[in-house]
Amino acid sequence: MVHLSGPQRRGPDLKELVAQVAFGDQDAFGRLYDAVAGPVFGLVRRVLRDPAQSEEVTQEVMLEVWRTAARYQPDRGEVMSWVLTMAHRRAVDRVRSAQATADREQRVAARSHMPAFDEVAEQVEGRLEREQVRRCLRMLTELQRQAVTLAYYRGYSYREVADMLSAPLGTVKTRMRDGLIRLRDCLGVES
Amino acid sequence: MTGGAELHTLTGAYAAHALDGPERAEFERHLALCEACALEVREFAATLARLGAAEAETPPAELRARVMSGIGSVRQLAPPSAVVPVVPQPTGRRRRSRLVRHWPKLALAASVALAAALGGLAVDQSRRADEADARATQLQAQQAVFGSLLTAPDARTATATAGTGVGTVVWSQSRGQAGFLASGMPALPAGKTYELWFDDAGTMRPAGLLPASSGSLLLQGPLDGAVGVGVTVEPAGGSAHPSSTPVMLLPFS
Ligand SMILES: [Zn+2]
pLDDT for A123 beyond 90:
no
pLDDT of residue B162: 80
User: How confident is the prediction for chain A on average, in pLDDT?
Assistant: 83
CA B49, distance to chain mean position in Å, is 23
pLDDT for B114 beyond 70:
no
Q: In terms of domains, do A94 and A148 share one?
A: no
Domain count for chain A: 2
Q: What are phi and psi of B151, to 5 degrees?
A: -95, 0
User: Does the beta carbon of B199 lie under 8 angstroms from any beta carbon of chain A?
Assistant: yes
Domain boundary among A70, A100, A130: A100
Confidence of residue A104 (pLDDT cuts 50, 70, 90): low
Give A17-60 pLDDT, tens digit per residue.
999 999 889 999 999 999 999 999 999 999 999 999 999 999 99
Domain membership of residue A6 (yes or no) is no
Give B56-96 pLDDT, tens digit per residue.
999 999 999 999 999 999 999 876 543 333 333 334 443 33
CB contact under 8 A, B59 and A10: no
Give B11-33 pLDDT, tens digit per residue.
999 999 999 989 999 999 999 99
Q: Is the dihedral of CA A13, A14, A15, A17 positive or negative?
A: positive
CB contact under 8 A, A39 and B105: no
- Which of B11-15, B42-46, B119-123, B218-222 is predicted with the least confidence, judged by mean pLDDT? B119-123
B228: CB partners within 8 A, 6+ apart: A4, B158, B198, B199, B249, B250, B251, B252, B253
Q: In terms of domains, do A93 and A142 share one?
A: no
Q: In terms of domains, do A96 and A115 share one?
A: no
Domain membership of residue A1 (yes or no) is no
Chain A residue numbers touching B101 (CB-CB < 8 A):
24, 26
Q: In terms of domains, do A165 and A130 share one?
A: yes
Q: In terms of domains, do A81 and A33 share one?
A: yes
Q: In terms of domains, do A95 and A121 share one?
A: no
pLDDT of residue A108: 52
A120 or B24, which is more confident? B24
Q: Could you report the predicted ipTM of this complex, rounded to two decimals?
A: 0.85
Question: Distance, CA B232 to ligand 1 centroid (Å)?
Answer: 39
Q: What are phi and psi of A122, to 5 degrees?
A: -65, -35
Q: In terms of domains, do A93 and A47 share one?
A: yes
User: Does the beta carbon of B35 lie under 8 angstroms from any beta carbon of chain A?
Assistant: no
Domain membership of residue A39 (yes or no) is yes
Return the residue of B nearest to A175 by Cα.
B12
Domain membership of residue A63 (yes or no) is yes
Query: What's the rounded Cα separation, in Å, for the pair B91 and B62?
Result: 38
Q: In terms of domains, do A95 and A127 share one?
A: no
Percentage with pLDDT > 90 across chain B: 25
Which CA distances in Å does A119 have to A86, A122, A126, A181, B187? 23, 5, 15, 21, 45
pLDDT of residue B121: 39
Chain A residue numbers touching B103 (CB-CB < 8 A):
24
pLDDT of residue B173: 82
pLDDT for B50 beyond 60:
yes
Burial class for B132, CB neighbours closer than 10 Å (0-12, 13-18, 19+): middle
Domain membership of residue A115 (yes or no) is yes
CB contact under 8 A, A67 and B76: yes
Query: What's the rounded Cα separation, in Å, for the pair B204 and A26?
Result: 32
Domain membership of residue A3 (yes or no) is no
CA A40, distance to chain mean position in Å, is 7
pLDDT of residue B251: 86
Q: In terms of domains, do A122 and A46 share one?
A: no
Confidence of residue B123 (pLDDT cuts 50, 70, 90): very low
Q: In terms of domains, do A95 and A128 share one?
A: no
pLDDT for A100 beyond 60:
no
CATH number of A165's domain: 1.10.10.10
Across residues A76-103, what is the average pLDDT? 86
Q: In terms of domains, do A86 and A155 share one?
A: no
CATH number of A31's domain: 1.10.1740.10
Domain membership of residue A105 (yes or no) is no
CA distance B126 to chain A (A): 27
In contact, A182 and A140? CB cutoff 8 Å = yes
CA distance A172 to chain B (A): 9
CB contact under 8 A, B165 and A153: no
pLDDT of residue B43: 97
Across residues A83-103, what is the average pLDDT? 83
User: How confident is the prediction for chain B on average, in pLDDT?
Assistant: 75
Give A138-151 pLDDT, tens digit per residue.
999 999 999 999 99
Question: Distance, CA A134 to ligand 1 centroid (Å)?
Answer: 29
Q: In terms of domains, do A20 and A92 share one?
A: yes
Domain boundary among A49, A74, A100: A100
pLDDT for B204 beyond 80:
yes
> Between B19, B100, B161, which is nearest A15 by CB?
B161
Spell out the domains of chain B, with CATH numbers in brackets.
Answer: 1-53 (1.10.10)
Question: Distance, CA B40 to ligand 1 centroid (Å)?
Answer: 9
> Between B50, B95, B98, which is nearest A133 by CB?
B50
- Domain holding A87, by residue range, is 11-100
Domain boundary among A81, A100, A119: A100
Domain membership of residue A167 (yes or no) is yes
- Which of A78-87, A143-152, A166-175, B150-159 is predicted with the least confidence, judged by mean pLDDT? B150-159
